[in-house]
Amino acid sequence: KLQIMESQAESYLKQLELISHDPAAYPHMQSDICSWELFLSHVTKEIEKAKSQFEEQITAIKNGSRLSELSQVQIPKLSFPACNTVHPELLSESSGHDDQGL
């Protein structure tokens, strides 16, 4: 799910950057772009964190631990940032992408 969110955030950010050429039409554009860049950075860090936890578990299993003894890899629930400009659903509809239930 994090990788899907990352892909959708990257796509949305690209769309924002494409329409950012008219600042008068979208006065909050720069703020939205910054919010999405920060969100994308956070998602990327969470993906790396989950991968690291998974690798630690694989190492523990190789060293004799039982899977049932290990804690679950924690995947946080993240929400897209609030938009002042255009909602992600509108961009995904206009670009032909599914939102994949997120």
Query: How many other C-beta atoms can be found within 10 angstroms of the C-beta atom of residue 17?
Result: 13
Q: How confident is the model at residue 31 (pLDDT cuts 50, 70, 90)?
A: confident
Q: What is the pLDDT of residue 24?
A: 67
**Would you state the structure tokens that stand for residue 32, as one six-digit string?**
């939205």
Judged on CB neighbours under 10 Å (0-12, 13-18, 19+), 22 is exposed
Spatial contact of 6 and 40, defined as CB atoms under 8 Å apart: yes
User: Which one, of 7, 6, 18, 3, lies nearest residue 94 by Cα?
Assistant: 18
Residue with the larger pLDDT of the pair 54 and 100:
54
pTM for the predicted model, two decimal places = 0.68
Q: What is the pLDDT of residue 95?
A: 41
pLDDT single digits (tens) 42-57: 999 999 999 999 999 9
